[in-house]
Amino acid sequence: MAKVIHSMIRVLDLEKSMKFYADVLDLHESHRLDFPDFALVYLRNAENDVEIELTLNKGRTEAYTHGTGYGHVGVVVPDVAAAHAALLAKGYEPAPVKEFKRGDELLARFCFIQDPDGYKIELLERHGHYQ
């Protein structure tokens, strides 16, 4: 049986991206592989077995494109309104908190934020399917 272990994204400024992921998702370096042309930095926290792999291609100055296929990474938080307020207090600009409903039934409460390279992250309140 397969086990998901990481999702990789390419970044232009490794330190800026590491700060963002620490501030926003409490993800910190768990492993690093540094080579002359590139570096791989794996991020995680105590809540996760899955890691985000930041890939820095050294010497690249041109921004990466995301095309039309990439969507987002989803994470759960205990209280999305509190997480949203904390991000604003740190100087980040998350999108407004929204609710997804079927009739009167709340399916999800969420907001999005983009990392320094434009990758979207969905913060979902721990509820229903999103545990």
Closest CA to 28 of 52, 44, 9, 49: 44
Both tokens of 88, joined, read 């604003």
Q: How many residues does the structure list for the chain?
A: 131
Q: Catalytic residue at 122?
A: yes
Listed in sequence order, the residues at least 6 apart from 125 whose beta carbon sits closer than 8 Å to its beta carbon are: 76, 77, 78, 79, 80, 108, 109, 110
Check 15, 105, 122, 125 and give the catalytic one.
Answer: 122
Which DSSP helix (H) or strand (E) runs through 20?
helix 14-25
**Quick check: 76 and 125 in contact, CB under 8 A?**
yes
Question: Which residues does the annotation mark as catalytic?
Answer: 122
